[in-house]
Structure 1
Amino acid sequence: MSGKILIVDDVATNRIVYKVKLGAACYAPILAADGESCLVMAQQTKPDLILLDLILPDMHGTEVLRRLRADPATAAIPVVVFSAEDDAASRLGALAAGADEYLRKSVDDQTLLARLRNLLREREAIAELESGGAPIRALGFAEPASGFQLPGTVALVTHRPETALLWRRDLAGQLSDKMVMLSREAALSDAALMPVPDVFVIEYELADPMGGLRLMSELRSRAETRHAAICIVKQSRGNGASAMAFDLGANDVVAATDDPREFGMRIKRLLQRKRAADTLRASVRNGLRLAVIDPLTGLFNRRYAVSQLAEIAAQSDVSGRPFAVMVVDLDRFKDVNDRFGHPAGDAVLTEVARRMAANIRHGDLLARIGGEEFLIALPETDLAMATPIAERICCAVHDAAFDIPGFAPLALTASIGLAIGEAKTGWSEQPVTAVIDRADQALLVAKSAGRNQVTISRTAA
């Protein structure tokens, strides 16, 4: 994994040693000797991660952290405090100031590099979500962030209930979130995971020396728990087990001997990051939906319909069977808006969409492509199959009146133009919009012939 890592240490020997180690691991090291240089270089070079010593000649590392987190340009850069100090006050101060991790300089290289890989993977995952959401935000589809958040759920997974009780006692004063105690079997049971926990805190030695890591792998392989944050709790630091946990997907590793306040801070940070990632995923998912869905009727929009029609045409080439395209237009719909108002017109459009959806087959495409105009595409369908479907849709519109509050039931009809796309090669060279155009021309004929009918295009594209 490549990446720029800014090494901040006032001792030149330390900078050179870690430059060599990180360079050998295919990272691109950048060096700074004091806090002010760190802040300037973080702004200018936008490193992927910062390795920060606490003791610097011009300012303390916690002050550097606070200033990094206060600057929008550097706030999201992961920071690993790398210090010779290992007292509780230093660790808590660094984490409170915004450090993503606190490691002693005596940590083995395997654990150090595994933690760096782990943090860089998390950063890349968030960056991908943000880049996916950028076009959505640019189009104005993103929903505003909610200022209210429901409490999260933290699952404490241990082999012995007394261990879970100890963890719950340590965390109770620091978290307002719900805590549940689970066995390994319950953690893998869909029925027991309601709601799905935001964070799993898992005992490393869960019934056997590798039980916690195996459970973590199981949780990562399941769709329901794939995005949950996972914290592995070991009996002590060191021995290389942390490196394995990080490389297998743990979001954090703590020691059972750690200060309970640090335990709480780390779980709280995992909850915050999980919520932020969930919000990003939801924003992208909802934004993509809004980009292809007509918000009034819930049908697909024209942009999506044309792209899907190209897929249907390509499928037709493979199967050798034709496909059908209908353009449906509500007759004299402008009169509805003029007489009853646009809210009534919107209600009619929504009901028409529902009736049409009820009269097509699973796998058919239904989209709203204009004000009162709809498109229906029927894969692998010839004229003999398509005609009764079109006539059924026509009947579905005019057979039942539309209820408009405060007025008498409204009778409405629809005209439909139907065209068949024959199987052939080269749809990409001859756009499928030509089939839509033929259906549209047939629709005009239906309109001029008295409306409330289906007209078939007899001309091949």
Structure 2
Amino acid sequence: MTGTVLIVDDVATNRIVMKVKMASACYDTLQAGDGTSALALARSRRPDAILLDMNLPDLSGIEVCRQLKADPVTADIPVIIVTTSRDGAARRDALRAGADDFLSKPVRETILMARLRSLLRARQNEAELRLRDGTSRAFGLAEPGAAFTTQGTIALIAAQADTALAWRRALAPHVSDRLVMLRPAAALTATGPAPEVYLIAADLAHSGDGLRLMSELRSRGPSRHAAVCIVLPPAADGARADTTAAMALDLGAADLLPADFDPEETALRLTAQLERKRRADRLRDTVRSGLRMAVTDPLTGLYNRRYALPYLARMDERARQTGRSYAVMVLDLDRFKAVNDTFGHAAGDAVLAEVARRLLDNLRPVDLVARIGGEEFLVAMPDAHLATARAAAERLCRVVEAQPVTLPCGPDGPGGSVGVTVSIGLSIGGTGPADPPPGGPGLQGDPVAGVLGRADSALLAAKAAGRNKVTVALSAA
């Protein structure tokens, strides 16, 4: 993974040493010796990450971080504060200012590179979601979600129940979200919504079990997007500890904590992870909402042509593979223009919405109903033969005609009602058992365009024959 890292340190030697380390991992670098220069470079060059020294000649690293996070141009750039200080209060202030991590000098290169990879991966994922969301908004397909947030859930998973209980007691005064203790098996088999954040010991029953549990959680749908923070075991072997930490980050850990973690600092880290999770969820929701809007007719709630045509293509492909037939109906409201001209467009909208409801209520759950034009609908029936489809089409004619549609009230009083009928063109596609054998007249290999075109022709014939009728298309020769 390559990118550009801004190194901010008032000591030139420190900047050079860090630049060499970054170059060995194929990162490009920018350098700044004070806070003011760092802010200007960050805004003009938009680096992928910032390594920020705590002590600078003009501004503190915390103040630089605060200004970076307050500026929309630089707010999404990951910031790692690097310092010789071991002061817990300074660490907490840095996290409150928006720092993504806080590393003490001398910085262990293995941990630094793994942390950079983790932060850049998370940033790229969020940038991709923002890009999709922005595209949806550009086409008017998404709206901002509600800002209201409910209480989150943080799961605590340790090797011993006593340890998890101690974690909960320590964190409870600093966390407003729900803290629940889970056993590893329960985390994988629990039903219902998954916790937003998991705090997992790296070693459970055996060494490394926590990392394996994290991988399992990442592979399951409900917990795939949860944030996982790993609590590292106390280790005398520094090299082994670094390897475990780097492996945890590369496997998807959002953060690392020492075994003797500071409760207040950990609460800040967990809260930050929870907020990132919620932000990503909101972006995913708006993207999904935009996709739904892109394929859904807003008046009737039915699918639109953009969705229906690819669906027909997949249905045809499946029919060819299984040797079954399918039915396509094209329906058109009779004399719909007269409804709009006489009662107004609000009445016309009410008629369309009611007809859509009647169509849905009188077809199988597996059948597709779509609005493909102003007053034109399409019905696609998988695994349907001619007799079944004809009976369904005639039923639709009857239920649409059976009861007038109640119209909305207008400025002059009650809206009244209007009778509505539909004409239907029906065509059969696929290679079902009722089709003639290969070589004879039939539908074998008939493309979707042909099936749909014959249904359109049959609809015109139904209109010409007096409307409120079902006409079956002749098979392709």
- Per-residue displacement from partner, 1:82-123 (whole Å, max 9, x unpaired)? 222222122112111111000113232211111111111111
Which one of the candidate residues 214, 218, 221 is aligned to 2:219? 221
Asked if the contact 2:330/2:377 (under 8 Å) is kept, the reply is yes
Matches within 5 A, 1:43-442: 43-191=43-191, 194-236=192-234, 239-240=241-242, 241-313=244-316, 324-337=327-340, 345-361=348-364, 363-378=366-381, 386-400=389-403, 402=405, 411-419=419-427, 422-424=443-445, 436-442=452-458
Following TM superposition, by how much is the alpha carbon of 1:414 offset from its aligned partner in structure 2, in angstroms? 0.8
Provide closer, same or farther for how the CA distance between residues 443 and 277 of structure 1 changes in structure 2, counting only shifts above 3 A: same
Following TM superposition, by how much is the alpha carbon of 1:312 offset from its aligned partner in structure 2, in angstroms? 4.1
Asked if the contact 2:2/2:27 (under 8 Å) is kept, the reply is yes
**Bigger Cα displacement from structure 2, 99-108 vs 273-282:** 99-108
- Per-residue displacement from partner, 1:44-94 (whole Å, max 9, x unpaired)? 222111111112233211121112112111110011112222221221121
3-state secondary structure, aligned to 1:393: helix
Asked if the contact 1:235/1:257 (under 8 Å) is kept, the reply is no
Q: Equivalent residue for 2:463?
A: 447
* Structure 1 letter corresponding to 2:287: V
- Report the count of equivalent residues: 454
Provide closer, same or farther for how the CA distance between residues 345 and 171 of structure 1 changes in structure 2, counting only shifts above 3 A: farther
Q: Equivalent residue for 1:30?
A: 30
**Bigger Cα displacement from structure 2, 336-345 vs 204-213:** 336-345
What is the alpha-carbon distance in structure 2 between the residues aligned to residue 30 and residue 424 of structure 1?
62
* Structure 2 letter corresponding to 1:222: R
Following TM superposition, by how much is the alpha carbon of 1:214 offset from its aligned partner in structure 2, in angstroms? 2.0
Where structure 2 has 5 or more consecutive residues not aligned to the other structure, the ranges are: 409-413, 430-442
What is the alpha-carbon distance in structure 2 between the residues aligned to residue 396 and residue 304 of structure 1?
26
* Structure 1 letter corresponding to 2:307: Y
3-state secondary structure, aligned to 1:245: helix
What is the alpha-carbon distance in structure 2 between the residues aligned to residue 348 and residue 358 of structure 1?
15
3-state secondary structure, aligned to 1:416: strand
- TM-score where L is the length of structure 1: 0.88
Provide closer, same or farther for how the CA distance between residues 316 and 164 of structure 1 changes in structure 2, counting only shifts above 3 A: closer
Asked if the contact 1:201/1:231 (under 8 Å) is kept, the reply is yes
* Structure 2 letter corresponding to 1:14: N
Following TM superposition, by how much is the alpha carbon of 1:363 offset from its aligned partner in structure 2, in angstroms? 4.8
Following TM superposition, by how much is the alpha carbon of 1:402 offset from its aligned partner in structure 2, in angstroms? 4.4
- Per-residue displacement from partner, 1:251-284 (whole Å, max 9, x unpaired)? 1111232322211110110111011011001011
What is the alpha-carbon distance in structure 1 between the residues aligned to residue 158 and residue 351 of structure 2?
57
**Bigger Cα displacement from structure 2, 260-269 vs 16-25:** 16-25
Asked if the contact 1:320/1:423 (under 8 Å) is kept, the reply is no
**Bigger Cα displacement from structure 2, 277-286 vs 346-355:** 346-355
* Structure 2 letter corresponding to 1:449: A
**Bigger Cα displacement from structure 2, 89-98 vs 114-123:** 89-98
* Structure 1 letter corresponding to 2:11: V
Asked if the contact 1:313/1:423 (under 8 Å) is kept, the reply is no
- Per-residue displacement from partner, 1:15-42 (whole Å, max 9, x unpaired)? 2222222222122222222222222222
Following TM superposition, by how much is the alpha carbon of 1:347 offset from its aligned partner in structure 2, in angstroms? 4.5
Following TM superposition, by how much is the alpha carbon of 1:173 offset from its aligned partner in structure 2, in angstroms? 2.6
- Per-residue displacement from partner, 1:195-245 (whole Å, max 9, x unpaired)? 421111122232333222222122111111111111112344852222121
3-state secondary structure, aligned to 2:328: strand
- Per-residue displacement from partner, 1:314-361 (whole Å, max 9, x unpaired)? 556666777543220122334555666655544443343233234445
* Structure 2 letter corresponding to 1:209: S
**CA RMSD, Structure 1 to Structure 2 (Å):** 2.8
3-state secondary structure, aligned to 1:374: strand
What is the alpha-carbon distance in structure 1 between the residues aligned to residue 168 and residue 197 of structure 2?
13
Asked if the contact 2:144/2:286 (under 8 Å) is kept, the reply is no
Q: What fraction of aligned residue pairs are identical, expressed as a percent?
A: 54
**Bigger Cα displacement from structure 2, 108-117 vs 208-217:** 208-217
Asked if the contact 1:320/1:424 (under 8 Å) is kept, the reply is no
What is the alpha-carbon distance in structure 2 between the residues aligned to residue 294 and residue 41 of structure 1?
47
What is the alpha-carbon distance in structure 1 between the residues aligned to residue 336 and residue 41 of structure 2?
63
* Structure 2 letter corresponding to 1:200: Y
* Structure 2 letter corresponding to 1:350: A
What is the alpha-carbon distance in structure 1 between the residues aligned to residue 33 and residue 326 of structure 2?
69
3-state secondary structure, aligned to 2:378: strand
Asked if the contact 1:6/1:49 (under 8 Å) is kept, the reply is yes
Provide closer, same or farther for how the CA distance between residues 33 and 434 of structure 1 changes in structure 2, counting only shifts above 3 A: farther
Following TM superposition, by how much is the alpha carbon of 1:408 offset from its aligned partner in structure 2, in angstroms? 7.2
Asked if the contact 1:322/1:423 (under 8 Å) is kept, the reply is no
What is the alpha-carbon distance in structure 1 between the residues aligned to residue 340 and residue 183 of structure 2?
61
What is the alpha-carbon distance in structure 1 between the residues aligned to residue 371 and residue 334 of structure 2?
15
Asked if the contact 2:174/2:263 (under 8 Å) is kept, the reply is no
What is the alpha-carbon distance in structure 1 between the residues aligned to residue 188 and residue 472 of structure 2?
56
* Structure 2 letter corresponding to 1:139: F
3-state secondary structure, aligned to 1:188: helix
What is the alpha-carbon distance in structure 2 between the residues aligned to residue 423 and residue 354 of structure 1?
34
Asked if the contact 2:355/2:400 (under 8 Å) is kept, the reply is yes
Where structure 1 has 5 or more consecutive residues not aligned to the other structure, the ranges are: none
What is the alpha-carbon distance in structure 1 between the residues aligned to residue 248 and residue 475 of structure 2?
66
